[in-house]
Structure 1
Amino acid sequence: MKIGIVTDSTADIPAALVIKYKIEVVPALLVIDGKSLIDGEGITREEFYTRMPSFKVPATTAAPSAGSFMERYEKLSNAGAEKILSIHASSKLSGIFNAARLAAESFGERVQVVDSEQLSLGCGFQVLAAAEAISRGAVIEEITRLIKGIQGRIRLIAVLDTLEYLRRSGRVSWAKARIGGALNLKPLIELTHGRVENLGAVRTTRLANIRLLEMAHEMGTIERLAVLHTNAETRARKFLKEFNPILPEKPLLLNVTTAIGAHLGPNGVGFAVVRK
């Protein structure tokens, strides 16, 4: 049985792997000064994070239309896919999953839409595991079980430079209130069960780096690792060098897509792991 796979740009899968596994990626939308851009086009990630503090109106994001997903499902169906797995960003944080689900209604049981309950490589690792299984000839039931198993072993933790952008996004209830000098702290967050949880905060970047490294060492044996940052590559590389875990695969290091970073702000660092 030929199985197709679809995700969205918030999964942060590197282009080389998208091409290798023939993954269809539907881009999210980025809105800057009232102008809507396709995630990944019109502005580089580096330029976006550099300019972000100077935006007069905070950048926002939007889900792609259901029609965008229908086009990808039709493309895969026309290419012979009998089943399609569509794996997307947490439904609790984005409208992307619902847009995909709405599009899938026209395709009946041919399209199965999965809520990854994650963002960035927390979602992307699920997509890659599914794509690898498809390349091995796995059946759809085996792949969906694999995805569910991986979901429970993913940890995505980050330290932000400020709480301000998360508060502005309005998507995280505990971050909405501006409380005294809290915005000057470096908040530690984790994405779990589809929601952003508060792990506390520290006062300096140095302490933030130390705490993040401590939490990474608490992960135990790791199967996959991605070091994530929002225009903080030097810090991200230093973290990776100091963490230096033994891994079956080379770790990924990437500047997080603007569709996620718009809600996090520049100078953040974090990691996504799949624990053994």
Structure 2
Amino acid sequence: MPDTAAVRVVTDSTACLPAPDGAAHADLWDGLGHGPLVVPLHVVTQDGTLREGVDVSPQDVAARIAGGERLTTSQPATAELSDAYRELVADGARSVVSVHLSGELSGTFAAAERAGHRAMIPVRAVDSRTAAMALGFAAVEAARCAAAGCDTEHVARRAREVAGSAEAVFLVDSLEHLRRGGRLSAPAAALGTALGVRPILGVRDGHVELVQRVRTRRAAVSRLVTIAVERARRATRPAVAVHHLGAPERAAEVADVLADRLGLQPVVTPVSAVLGAHVGPGALAVMVVDRGGHVHDLEPGGPW
């Protein structure tokens, strides 16, 4: 039998993965011996640089922004990713697939490539071209392949396949955070706020883009749900997530509607602290991927 720990998966904290020890998301982790190892990104505050999920939470970010503080973010240092790879080597890994936030939005993927060149074992860095649980689902599905004994190429291909199927759409109360952080162009931001419309945004081919404009927030939330339902119904085996920053009741309502219309239970988590610094309080997002009819075809020749 193959060594199920031979290939291990790393991702970053913008994947918004829920805790594996909670009953609410047990299906996500079912049968998964080794989940992805998560490396934190950083939120830069007036108190210093904080690691998300360790030193700062999404709730902290929402409160700081509401209090008028301007936040910036930064990728993990190459050394932090190198430390993660070394940790997995010590745990018996013989190769790593490192799956990260879109390289158009962050330097994390590039840092993973640099760290991989210095690693003691082969490291395959994957640019997901997406974010949040669209990235998280890709990392988990890749880890599931690794746990089944698949080789590095198979695991990396699975991450790209799931991430490439993603529909990632979201609403924000203000486009200013995205514009100021350079994640949305000034013309797109101006277009999105023209005439009092509510913009629906999406992550498309790694970039944040204006998808559609509607007149009211209620209509925008309805359209967000419709986009997600249409994508999920085209999928062979959909997985859905709902994210928010400081709006848990609104996220729960959207998740209930999606559950009723699709017959599946979405993952519901706050958006990560780093993503929250760019979308601002009140943000609401829906992520859909297609897990497909995937088969763990075990290829001969070892885990490399």
Shared fold (TM-score greater than 0.5)? yes
Instruction: State the partner residue of 1:242.
Output: 257
User: What is the rounded CA distance, in whole Å, between the counterparts of 1:201 and 1:48 in structure 2?
Assistant: 27
* Contact 2:242–2:269 (8 Å) recurs in 1: yes
Instruction: State the partner residue of 1:36.
Output: 49
CA displacement at 1:114 relative to structure 2: 0.6
- Percent identity, aligned pairs only? 31
Pairing 1:10–2:14 present: yes
Pick one of 139, 144, 153 that aligns with 1:127.
139
* Contact 2:255–2:265 (8 Å) recurs in 1: no
* Contact 1:158–1:188 (8 Å) recurs in 2: yes
CA displacement at 1:177 relative to structure 2: 5.8
CA displacement at 1:173 relative to structure 2: 2.1
Pairing 1:65–2:84 present: no
* Contact 2:89–2:121 (8 Å) recurs in 1: no
Amino acid in structure 1 at the alignment position of 2:277 = A
Per-residue CA shift, 1:15-43, capped at 9, x if unaligned?
215x9534221100001125211112333
Q: Counterparts of 1:1-276 in structure 2 under 5 Å?
A: 1=3, 2-16=6-20, 17=29, 21-33=34-46, 35-56=48-69, 58-107=70-119, 110-174=122-186, 178=190, 182=194, 185-219=197-231, 220-222=233-235, 223-244=238-259, 245-246=261-262, 250-275=265-290, 276=292
Per-residue CA shift, 1:180-199, capped at 9, x if unaligned?
95495432111011111111
Residues 263 and 92 of structure 1, relative CA distance in 2, 3 Å threshold: same
* Contact 1:162–1:186 (8 Å) recurs in 2: no
* Contact 2:176–2:189 (8 Å) recurs in 1: no
Instruction: Please list every run of 5 or more consecutive structure 2 residues that lacks an aligned counterpart in the other structure.
Output: 21-28, 293-304
Residues 140 and 163 of structure 1, relative CA distance in 2, 3 Å threshold: same
CA displacement at 1:217 relative to structure 2: 2.5
CA displacement at 1:108 relative to structure 2: 7.0
TM-score normalised to structure 2 length: 0.82
User: What is the rounded CA distance, in whole Å, between the counterparts of 2:189 and 2:202 in structure 1?
Assistant: 19
User: What is the rounded CA distance, in whole Å, between the counterparts of 2:163 and 2:84 in structure 1?
Assistant: 24
Residues 240 and 149 of structure 1, relative CA distance in 2, 3 Å threshold: same
RMSD: 2.4
Give the 3-state SS of the residue equivalent to 2:200 in structure 1: strand
Instruction: Please list every run of 5 or more consecutive structure 1 residues that lacks an aligned counterpart in the other structure.
Output: none
* Contact 2:128–2:164 (8 Å) recurs in 1: no
Per-residue CA shift, 1:159-213, capped at 9, x if unaligned?
1112111111122225676569549543211101111111132332212112212
